[in-house]
A and B are shown apart, each in its own frame.
Chain A
Amino acid sequence: MDTVACIKRVPDTGAKITLTDDEQEIDTSHLGFTISPHEECAVEEAIQVADDHDGTATVLSLGSADTEEQLRTGLAMTADEATLLETDGEEWRPRKTAATLADALSDDSDTNPEFDLLLFGNESADVANHQVGVRVAERLDVPFVAGVSDLAIEDWTAVAKRDVTGGTEVYELDLPAAVGVKEGLNLPRYASMRAKMQARKQSIGRQDPVAVEFDGGIEKVRLEAPESTEGAAEVLGEGPDAVPAVVDLLRDDLEVI
């Protein structure tokens, strides 16, 4: 069973964000890069499913040449193959990204998808458009479920679960299928130093994406960092001595007791 995890290179998600002077991008001059957290789980799941069902796991990304770093992370996690659809680093919108990924995932001869299970992060950490996975699945005509927090493969069926208020929705998808997964699906493995060294030597497949252009669309004007409310905390006291003031706050001001 062959799996593909689609990943994206994003600035370190724990970092404090500042913008470039023209307000068009996140200033990444002092930031590291990573794989989106949801997508890290997608890679882990792709590897586990491929291992359990005697197949191969591939990591696929569309992005700048630097995205090789994240693909090598996937290889170090023991993915079998990696492919980069190299762009000049400009931000691509979801329709264009999805059309290009779908092209890369289609068998040229008969447009059959070249995978049994395709995994996406539910949304990317940086842009959070919530739609690339759906659009790829629609173009490839395979079933898709978003927000997946649990996944099992039974024969040629993907049993995907999504948390809802009061329980879990269960979906059964015939393979080939695609899913958008959320962090918590699994615990992504740490790559060993040895695996990282080996991954440096592995070759990464490259394709020049043929950009599909669309009429209309969504066009970024500028980014804005919301105003900070820092520095407003009222210190109620130190240690257990502060408890009476906390009780007064809870009872009189906030009325939660």
Chain B
Amino acid sequence: MILTLVEHAGGSPEESSLEALTLARELSTATDASLEAVAFGAESAALREELGDYGIETVHRVADDRLDTYAPEAWAESIAQLLDTTDTDAVVAPGTDRGQEVLAHVGAKCDLPMAANCLDVEAGDVYELSRQRWGGSLVEHARLDGDPKLLTAAPHEFSPETVTATAETAVQPFEPSLEESAFRVTVDRVEESGETGVSLGEARVVVGGGRGVGSPEDYDKLETLAESLSGTVGASRAAVNEGWRPHDDQIGQTGTKISPDLYVACGISGAVQHMVGCKGADNILAINTDPEAAIMQKADYAVVGDLHEVVPELNDALANER
């Protein structure tokens, strides 16, 4: 059996989990193993219909009221107990904070290795795999030996695809035996940001500003451009270090990794660690005064010019387009 950890919001699977499911399905097809999921919380039973579209045969619904709130150690202990009762070849989790964290706990509890951020996996007694290193700038080819194998799927690297013949998904309750100590780490509360705009990681259009923007006030014109394109604004590490934008806006190896349809990079030189964050973009348009800047070599489209002149003119033109 290939088991996938599915994160969900109110019974609707997260996109990152559907990506992980795609990797898991490749493994199950290659090894003729069943494709199953494990999910937590009262609303996980609602996953039955949607996961059937992705070929899931069984959802192991971990039933314990205390698990309705995320608790990494309790989730991991539950999965460890599920592994004890099933014949599982591999566990695949999404490469999210939760996915990495829970699977690392499973690895520690079961004394198993874990391969993070996998890009491609070939099943066998030992798995031959490739995985991201250096934030995605490097690929490591490696061999993973474990029983079962623990893998996370690199974010934005797998396109969720439904199956042609929808599976009849069964929901199988699983009741782990959990000590109170397994809940010593749990979400105490959630503070809502109050922001209504689209998040950087999910935006279809991102307008990024770097050191070339010059000041926090000059981001206004980037905000206007983003608004015209129904997108959001991001920033390079240099701009964040200058204090012009909050760290939440940072695109890069140690910031947010974006995968928009269009990334407009304004006044950004294109340092390696920035490009790691935007390599998931389908199209990159660079606006930069320096035709020799690294970003101009890596973009799909380029305008050689000062963003302070180009962006306001573009904003006016877009306003006239409406």
Contact = CB atoms under 8 A, between A and B. Distances in A.
A17 B314 contact: no
A125 B105 contact: no
A194 interface: no
Interface in B274-310: 283, 285-286, 291, 296-306, 309-310
B101 to A, nearest CB: 4
A163 B262 CA distance: 24
Contact of B113 (A38, A128, A218, A224): A218
Interface string A161-179: 1111111111111100000
A55 interface: no
Interface string A233-257: 1111111101110110111001011
Interface string B179-192: 00000111111111
A254 B231 CA distance: 14
A246 B142 contact: no
Interface residues of B, number: 92
A17 B253 CA distance: 14
A46 interface: no
A13 B152 contact: no
B247 A224 contact: no
B198 to A, nearest CB: 10
Interface string B128-148: 101011110111111111110
Contacts of B296: 233
A129 interface: yes
Given A128-B135, A135-B107, A216 B113 contact: yes
Interface string B226-251: 00111100000000100000111010
B301 A236 contact: yes
Contact of B250 (A162, A184, A229, A242): A184
A94 interface: yes
Contact of B272 (A16, A95, A254): A16
B184 A174 contact: yes
Contacts of A139: 108
Interface in A145-191: 145-147, 149, 161-174, 182-184
A224 B137 CA distance: 9
B193 to A, nearest CB: 5
Interface string A219-241: 11111111001111111111110
A126 interface: yes
Contact of B298 (A13, A216, A233, A234): A233
Instruction: Please classify the interface of chain B as helix (H, G, I), strand (E, B), loop, or mixed, using the class held by over half of its residues.
Output: mixed
Nearest to B145: A216
Instruction: Please classify the interface of chain A as helix (H, G, I), strand (E, B), loop, or mixed, using the class held by over half of its residues.
Output: mixed
Given A170-B189, A216-B113, A147 B314 contact: no
B113 A93 contact: yes
Nearest to A186: B247
Given A182-B254, A184-B248, A256-B262, A131 B142 contact: no
A218 B262 contact: no
Contacts of B306: 239
A249 B202 CA distance: 22
14 contacts: A14-B271, A129-B116, A134-B101, A171-B185, A217-B146, A218-B145, A221-B140, A225-B138, A229-B298, A233-B296, A238-B305, A242-B304, A247-B321, A257-B318
Interface of B: 70, 72-73, 97, 100-101, 103-105, 107-109, 111-117, 128, 130, 132-135, 137-147, 152, 184-193, 195, 199, 201-202, 204-205, 228-231, 240, 246-248, 250, 253-255, 261-262, 271-273, 283, 285-286, 291, 296-306, 309-310, 313-314, 317-318, 321
Q: 4 tightest CB-CB pairs across the interface, nearest first?
A: A184-B247, A138-B108, A131-B104, A134-B104
